[in-house]
Amino acid sequence: MTKGLFTWLEEEGYMPESPVRRVKMPKIPRYVVRPLEEEQVGQLLSAINPRTSTGTRDLAILLLLLDTGMRLGELAGLTLAEGQLALKNGMLRVFGKGSRERFVPVGVTAQSALRRYIHLHRPESYTDALFLGALRAALTDEGIRQVVRRVANRAGVAGVHPHKLRHTAAVTFLRAGGDVFALQRILGHSTLAMTRNYVTLSDLDIKAAHVRASPADRFYGGRQRKLSAAS
């Protein structure tokens, strides 16, 4: 803010030169996203009893967060009508930051859990919210946090929260070969730079990707194989 002010004063002729022109702005530290491991996700899902009404709801919540990477508020804002529409066409309409609308694809596993919840276990309610809590009222952001926290405690997995599931969804999508530009749209990011903060892959991921796509192996390695076969 201060640097911008001095720059404006210089440009407008109020001072000959900004006193902070040569001051370098500190770099914002980048953090490595630590998603849940596959084993940890398995522990979370195994800690839910899908034969109970609460368990069916909780399983649908976790699978949607893991499958779509939705933000907490986006999930809490879903309506029953939107959930039913997703069962028909495999796409969820969500409203992100600034009430920006986007459509998020839902896989068959998450659809199956959602279908079971809506058709068999979601009670009648005065509200059109998709996920309901006590007294058949809409689950709030904090209510969903508590659902995730309760499942994580039961599974014995530390440090789990809805945003951690968003991280996990993003990294898992890329590890499975998903496109970063498609991921940007799924996550609802306005710029690709924001998406990169979520998808920093481990060294093993990078190594595996290079094994599959090594340029030297493709160009010279293929030539060597041909020479070996000819000899």
DSSP assigned state of 98: G
User: Any bridge partners for residue 94, and if so which?
Assistant: 102
The residue length of the chain stands at 231
List the catalytic residue out of 57, 164, 167, 189.
189
- Residues 106, 129: Cα–Cα separation, whole Å: 18
Closest CA to 185 of 173, 175, 195: 195
List the catalytic residue out of 57, 117, 167, 198.
198
CA 213 to chain centre: 26
**Contact (CB, 8 A) for 140 and 76:** yes
Closest CA to 198 of 160, 162, 172: 172
Closest CA to 104 of 185, 38, 180: 185
- Residues 56, 116: Cα–Cα separation, whole Å: 7
Is 163 marked active-site? Answer: yes
List the catalytic residue out of 21, 97, 136, 207.
97
Terminal-residue alpha carbon distance, the chain: 69
List the catalytic residue out of 57, 71, 122, 164.
71
Is 121 marked active-site? Answer: no
Residue 174 CB neighbours (<10 A): 19
List the catalytic residue out of 163, 175, 185, 196.
163
Is 119 marked active-site? Answer: no
Residues annotated as catalytic are 71, 97, 163, 166, 189, 198
